[in-house]
Amino acid sequence: MQAYFDTRETRSTEQRERELFECLPTVLRAARERAPAIARQLDGMDVTQLTSREALARVPVLRKSELLQVQHAARIGATDGSTQAERLRVFGGFSTVGWGAARRVFASPGPIYEPESARPDYWGFARALHAAGVRAGMLVYNCFSYHFTPAGSMMETAAHALGCTVFPGGVGQTEQQVRAMADLGPQCYTGTPSFLRIILERADDMGVALPTLQRALFSGEAYPPSLQAWFQARGIQGFQAYGSADLGMVAFETESRSGLVVNEDKILEIVRPGTSQPVPAGEVGEVVVTTFNPDYPLLRFGTGDLSALMPGPSPCGRTNLRIRGWLGRADQTTKVRGMFVHPEQIARVLIHHPQIRRARLVVSGEAGHDVMTLRVEAEPSLDASAVADTVRDQTKLRASVEILPSGSLPNDGKVIEDMRTYE
C-alpha cells in the first residue's frame, strides 16, 4: 500500500519553502487582477517582494468577521445582473469565479458564501483520506450534510479523486443508516465521530454487525484519545482532519498520531491573537492560512482557531509543518463595565512597552464589580504605572498591572481571560 499521497509530502523543508514562495507572487498577481478584495488587502504592496515568511508577515491578517462584513456590504443594492457583477455581489470580491465556473455555492453561518469549482478534489481532503488508509475501489459512507455547508461535498469530491464510490448518507435517520451500512458494506466512514458512535450503538441495539467498516475520517468535532480508543476497540481506525469552508483542508492526522500535518499548497502561520504578528514556535496563537486556491484565493486568512506549531517532522515521514490541533477560539472580546475590550487593544499596549514579553488581561470580580488586572512577563524594573496609563488610554478603563517573571503565564493563546462569577 502506497504510504504517501504524493512525493511532495516528503520534500525537504527547504525545498517546500522555496517552491511555495516562488509560486506565491504569481498567485497573488492573478488574485489581485480578479479578486478586488484581495487587491485592497495588498494595496501599496509589491507582490514580487512577498517571497518569504518575514515579508508575508507585513500583509495585514484578514479575519473571518471582516470577510463577513465585506460580503454583507457588497450585497446591499442592485446590480446589472451580469456574471461578473453577481460574483462581486455574492462573494464580496474574494472569488475569481462566478456562476457557471462555480459548480456549487455554499453558505456558512453568517452567512458567508463560498464557491466550489470543477477542479478535482477542490477542497483538498483527498490527502487526508489517503492518510486514513482509504484507497481506490473502496466504498465511502459519507455522513456529512449535503445542504448549505460544503462538508458533504468536501468528502465526496475527495473520495472521487481517490477512485472511490460514495454513499451520501447525510445526517439523521439512525436506523436507516444502520441498515444501509449492513447492506452496502462500506470500508470507510466520513462524518463527525459522535454520529458514528450513535450509529454503532444503534446497531448494537438492533443486533446488526458492521464488520466491513474499518476506517474513518472525522472532522467538525473534537476527537479526544478516549473516543479514539473506543473506536479502536471496535476495529475502526479513526483519523481527524482540520479544515474550513473558506480554506478547505488545512491539516490532517496520520498513523503516527503526533499532531496534524499541514496540507500542501498552503502557508500556515501562528499569530498572536488580535495582531498580524507571528508568535515564536511552540507558542499558542491564532491559525492564519494563505491558500493557493485560484478560485477563492484567501491571503493571510485568520481562522479564529487557536493552535501551536510542533517541533520537527512527523514520525510518519511527512515533512511539512505540524500543529497540535484545535486548542480553542482566538476571539476573546470581553465586555467590561459596559465597554468591549478587544485583544487588539492589549496588543497595542505591548507595542507601547516593548520590554513586555507576554501579557494577559484578567477580568475578575462579581457582576457589577468588574476588576481588570494586566499580568505581564517583564523585568521588575518595568514602570507598572506607565503601563496602567497605556491600558486606560487604549480601553478607557482602569486596570492594575502585575509584573511576573518569564514563563509565568500559561501557553494557551489567551490574551483576555474572563474569570468573573455570575452566581
- Residue 186 CB neighbours (<10 A): 24
For the beta carbon of residue 399, count every other beta carbon within 10 angstroms: 23
pLDDT, one tens digit for every residue, the chain (423 residues): 578 999 999 999 999 999 999 999 999 999 999 999 999 999 999 999 999 999 999 999 999 889 989 999 998 866 777 778 888 999 999 999 999 999 999 998 888 999 999 999 999 999 999 999 999 999 999 999 988 999 999 999 999 999 999 999 999 899 999 999 999 999 999 999 989 999 999 999 999 999 999 999 999 888 889 899 999 999 999 999 999 999 999 999 999 999 999 999 999 999 998 889 999 999 999 999 999 999 999 999 999 899 999 999 999 999 999 999 988 887 787 878 767 788 888 988 999 999 999 999 999 986 557 899 999 999 999 999 999 999 999 998 899 999 999 999 998 888 999 888 654
Domains delineated in the chain: 334-418 (3.30.300.30)
**pLDDT the model gives residue 2:** 73
Q: CA–CA separation, 71 vs 319, rounded Å?
A: 37
The candidate with the shortest Cα–Cα distance to 191, out of 163, 162, 220, 211, is 220
The pLDDT value recorded for residue 107 is 92
Q: Show the cell assigned to 260.
A: 496534524
Entry pTM = 0.84
Q: Which of these, 336, 337, 327, 387, lies nearest to 357 by C-alpha position?
A: 387
H or E element in which residue 361 lies: strand 358-364
Encode 204-230 in three state secondary structure: HHHCCCCCCCCEEEECCCCCCHHHHHH
> What pLDDT is recorded for position 279?
93
Parallel/antiparallel/unpaired status of strands 301-307 and 62-63 = parallel
Nearby residues of 44 by Cβ (< 8 Å), 6 or more positions away: none
Position 421 scores a pLDDT of: 67
Helix (H, G, I), strand (E, B) or coil at 180: helix
